[in-house]
Each structure stands twice: as C-alpha cells, then as structure tokens.
A and B are shown apart, each in its own frame.
Chain A
Amino acid sequence: MQTVNLEKENYKQLLKRFIEKNDEETLYKADLFSKESIRQNVTPDEIIHVYIQALEDLYPDLPETFRRSLDFLLETMISYGVAYKEFQEMREEQLEIKSELALAAKMQEKLLNTRVPEIKGLDIGAISIPAKQMNGDYYHFIEDHRGNLGVAIADVIGKGFPAALCMSMVKYTMDSFPESRMLPKRILQLLNRVVEKNVDPGMFVTMFYGLYNPDSHDFYYASAGHEPGLFYHGQHGVFTEIEAKGLVLGVERDVTYKQYKRRIELGDMIVLLTDGVTECRRGERFLERDEVIEVMKQYTHLPAQQMVERVFRYFEELQDFQLRDDFTLIVIRREN
C-alpha cells in the first residue's frame, strides 16, 4: 500500500503539477489523497480549505472577486463536514450494534442448544439454519424417566430479534414442565396460555409436539398450526402428510388440542420441518412441497443426520437459491 502524505505542501505540489501537465498520473495521486483523507477522517470542507490555501500560495495575485467566491464555496461546504462527522459516528455505533448482535446470536445458540439423544432402536438427525443472524425456529428433544422421547419443533412468526426472544420464552417454559411423562396435547395447551399472555397481538408460534414410546413404537402427537410433517413408509417407500389440526399458539386464551397416535414400523421415518423448508425461493418461484419430498426420497438410504444435511445442501447448492426463512428439518427413523 502506497502511503500518502496528507501535508498541505503535498496537496499544493499535486495541484501545481496537474495544472501544468494535466496528466492522468497526478489525477491518480489525487484519488489516493482523497482516499487517505477519508481514512484519516478529514472532512470535505477541510479539503476545500487546503485547496484554497494551495491556490493562494501558487497564485498570490488571484482576483479579489474569485478569492471571495472561494470563501463562499467553503462556507457552503461546512454543513457537509458536520454531516460527515455524524455519519462516522453512526458507522461506529453500527459496528458496535453488529458485534452485540453477534454476541446475542451466540448466546441464543447456547441457550436453545439441544442434544440429539441416542436411543436404542432410533436413528435421529436434526438441522436448523437461521436465515438471518438470530434463529426463530426451535427444536428440542427430551427423554423422560420411562425412556420416552419427546420432540418439539416450533417456528415463531417473523424473523430476527423479536422472534428469537419469543423462542427463548418458549424454551424456558418447556424446561419448567415437570419431567414426568407429558402428553403432547397437554404441553401445547400449557404453552399456548403462556404465549398468549406474553406476546404482541400479531405474534404467534406454531409447534408440533410428539412423544415416542420406544417400547411399543407408538408415536403420540399434536400440532398447534405447524407446517405438516411427513411419515415415511419404509416398506412402500412413500411419504404421506402427517395430518394434525390445531390452532397456533398465542391467539386464543383457552385452546384444547387434539392428540393423534400412530404406530411406527421398522424402516419408517417421522419427518418434521418448518415452513422455511417449503418457503425456499428459487429466483421468482417457491419450492413446492412435492419437490421437497422428491429431494428427500433421494437420501432416504442415508443415516438420519446425513440425510437432513444432504437435503439442506441440495437446496443450498441450487442456483438462485434464497433462504427466506429459518430452515429446520428433523428425521426420526425406527431401525433395528
């Protein structure tokens, strides 16, 4: 990097040379001079001030009217100097906010962190990618004392900070539930009350909650308006939608949820996702659910964790791919 001398004298010499030679090289140096000035927080009016002084040194006999006009120019530039200083302050503040946000995002990641459990007879994979810095999606695994697996997947409306704060609230509410076996319909009912009481009128959370009994291989589940998940029938190699009806969390005070039950056979899979998966955009077009299913079919032979990662990577590598919303995908497969 070439160093530039910001001395008045240097500017004067550059100006002199350019007036005499009218050359590209001096213009290039003038460009470096202005860049270095910006780097050293020199304001626009200060540059004009230097210019006037240099001009007066070079041409002591400038007509008085022209000299006065330069003072006039300087005067009209002073506000730009003030605005420039404000801009610099804002830029510093922005950097500060950015680093605080990064810190908050890290903290959130830690807070919402959940371990994918190892349960005999089950192969589990999960991936969650935020569209922005903070994740408004959330998933959670819990094992109760009888060895049942609880799984929650949730999406809070909106993105960024408010969504993330709301999700932390949901997570802490779930943590406060007693460890004894909790039924999906009951969990959603309790959570709904907490969310309804504590969020803005236009905000809501969608959640799917499932409870897997690894002895009987019965899967109990309920949905609070969540994007429908999928069952994969290992024997026939087909995906079908998990039908579960229920109102989103946070809209009405007292809501009861319907609970469903399904037996999971060897080789079957439970696929849970958020609408970030189906709201991926390719150029002007949104991905259809059927396309998502087609992609998943390609990877059903892989272990669950590899499967979810490959599905995400597939979308990520598409041309014009745009992640509009947080993306979360969970696969639970019954195996030997």
Chain B
Amino acid sequence: MNLTVNVEKNEKEYVLALSGEIDVYTAPRLKEKLLPLTKEKGTLVKINLEKVGYMDSTGLGVFISALKSTREHGSHLVLTNLPEKVFRLFEITGLNEIIDIEEKVRGGL
C-alpha cells in the first residue's frame, strides 16, 4: 500500500491531503514533504487525514517532529478529519492533548 501526499497552498496556509497508509515505509516521505512547510514562520499547516486507512506509531513520530518544528519556527499545525482508528492512536498516546485536532470522522475507512 502506498501513501499519496497532495499539497495545496493558499496565502499563508498549506493544506495537505493524505491518502493511503502511513507506516514505517511511507513515513519518511511524508516527513520529507511536511517538515519544510512547518519551518515557514506564521504559516498554518493543515493536514487532512480522511483517506488514511492505516497508521502506525511511525506516523505519530512524523507528527511529533512536525509539532516540535512548528514550536521552534512559529508556525501552526492542525490535523483534520481523522478516521476513528487513527484518532484512537492519538488518544492512547495522549498526543490529542498537545496536537490541535479539528475534527474526527465517525467510523472512517
């Protein structure tokens, strides 16, 4: 299974639409695309996870790196449309308390 990352830019906002699986094989590529965006001061990086069918802890690692980077560079990270299974990972690990999560989707994929 693969992961596609679609990036859209409007003014000071990036919207990333992810589709596929985030695991140990696809996470490095996501990190490569995501991290540079968090280094622009004042930008909002919004990630839509609606079409993510599976994510493991390696994926959480990518979002933690991104969160740390936004704090360092004065940008902001928001996750939206999390399928329930993906949201559960954030909940178990307590990361939902420190990462801005806008919406979760009932059921999901």
Contact = CB atoms under 8 A, between A and B. Distances in A.
Interface string A308-329: 0000000000000000110000
B68 interface: yes
Contacts of A203: 61
B65 A201 contact: yes
A201 B56 contact: no
Interface stretch (B7-15, B43-51, B75-83, B91-99): B91-99
A158 interface: yes
Given A158-B58, A202-B31, A225 B65 contact: no
A228 interface: yes
A104 interface: no
Given A158-B24, A201-B68, A206 B61 contact: no
Nearest to A247: B94
B31 A225 contact: no
Interface residues of B, number: 20
B103 to A, nearest CB: 21
Contact of A251 (B54, B58, B62, B98): B98
Contacts of B56: 275, 279, 324-325
Contacts of A230: none
Contacts of B60: 157, 204, 248
B47 to A, nearest CB: 15
A133 to B, nearest CB: 15
A284 to B, nearest CB: 9
A185 to B, nearest CB: 14
A228 B61 contact: no
A227 interface: yes
B61 A247 contact: no
A227 B64 CA distance: 18
17 contacts: A157-B57, A159-B24, A201-B64, A201-B69, A202-B61, A202-B62, A203-B61, A226-B92, A227-B92, A245-B94, A247-B95, A248-B60, A248-B94, A251-B64, A251-B68, A251-B98, A325-B56
Interface of A: 155, 157-159, 201-204, 206, 224-228, 245-248, 251-252, 275, 279, 286, 324-325
Closest 6 CB pairs of A and B: A225-B93, A247-B94, A202-B65, A202-B61, A157-B57, A201-B68
